[in-house]
Amino acid sequence: MIEENYRKVEAKVKEAAIRAGRNPEEVTLIAVSKTKPLSDIEALMKIGVEEFGENKPQELRDKYENVSRPVHFHQIGHLQTNKVKYIIDKAVLIHSVDTMHLAEQIQKEAEKRDMVAKVLIEVNAGEEDTKFGVTVEETEDLVRQISVLPNVKICGLMTIAPFVDDPEENRPIFRQMHQLLLDIKSQKIDNVDMNVLSMGMTNDYEVAIEEGATMVRVGTAIFGARDYSI
Ligand SMILES: *Cc1c(COP(=O)(O)O)cnc(C)c1O
């Protein structure tokens, strides 16, 4: 079931890329396994899936330590500074950096382990009060500040678009994010890459891909609805 769901989403990812005249290989599908048991992750690993997304640092750590072979876990949810230590050497990419304070903590923990942590800057492109992330206007400044940290490598941008009935409503946001990525990329800031654009979830990943997403984070369409009561 989960395997079939994954295959369906994977096919739609490919079709959306082709529709947009893009190479489907530019788009990475991240299976968002938050709240789901390890057995669901293992089922997908059997068909070759390597990229998983988790929201909570402790959950990422526990799953990382218990999977039967190494796979990639992405820290996609909000990260508190006191929890950086749980995932610093386990997350392949931290998608949710939105303050200098958090970046400095990542720097500290990465330096301790003599590693470079890869991060994305989270942008609140929809400007919703309930969301984390910097505004579009603040993004370049934050990128410049973080770029001086030697053990933190900015790889691109991430956004969580508003929940909408019609994914077309989010198209302008995705387009704006892509433009922002290109604008910052053109600045050629030292120690900054702008190659990753993480955007699009179950409801809107196809539109996000049409507008330039290189990573989509899909949970519900693969694993089914989440139960937060357990
Ligand atoms: C839960 C979550 C997702 C996946 O959401 P779905 O709508 O289930 O696909 C993607 N990104 C982030 C940051 C999330 O927290």
What DSSP string runs through the chain? -HHHHHHHHHHHHHHHHHHTT--GGG-EEEEE-TTS-HHHHHHHHHTT--EEEESSHHHHHHHHHHSSS--EEEE-S---GGGHHHHTTTEEEEEEE--HHHHHHHHHHHHHTT--EEEEEEE-TT--TT--SB-HHHHHHHHHHHTT-TTEEEEEEEE-PPP-SSGGGGHHHHHHHHHHHHHHHHT--TTEEEEEEE---TTTHHHHHHTT-SEEEE-HHHH----TT-
pLDDT reported for residue 61 = 98
* Cα 6 to Cα 30: distance, rounded to the nearest angstrom: 10
Using the mean position of ligand 1's atoms as its centre, give its distance from the Cα of residue 32 in Å. Answer: 6
Tell which atom from ligand 1 comes closest to the C-alpha of 32.
4
Say how many Å lie between the CA of residue 38 and the centre of ligand 1.
17
The residues with which 97 forms a beta bridge, in sequence order, are 121
Q: From the alpha carbon of 201, which atom of ligand 1 is closest?
A: 9
Q: What is the predicted pLDDT for the residue at 230? A: 58
Give the pLDDT of residue 223.
97
CB of residue 213 inside a 6 A radius of ligand 1: no
Best residue among 160, 201, 223 to mutate for probing ligand 1, ranked by most atoms within 8 Å of CB: 201
Whole-number pLDDT of residue 107? 98
> Does 33 contact ligand 1 (Cβ within 6 A)?
no
> What is the position in ligand 1's atom list of the atom closest to the CA of 158?
13
- State how beta strands 72-75 and 51-54 pair: parallel
> Which residues are bridge partners to 75 per DSSP?
54, 94
Could you tell me the mean pLDDT of each successive run of 10 residues in the chain, 230 residues long? 97 98 98 97 98 98 98 97 98 98 98 98 89 94 98 98 96 98 98 98 98 98 85
CB-based burial label for 84 (10 Å; 0-12, 13-18, 19+): buried
Q: pLDDT at position 226, please? A: 87
**What is the pTM for the complete model shown?**
0.97
What is the pLDDT at residue 177?
Answer: 98
CA 112 and chain centroid, separation: 24
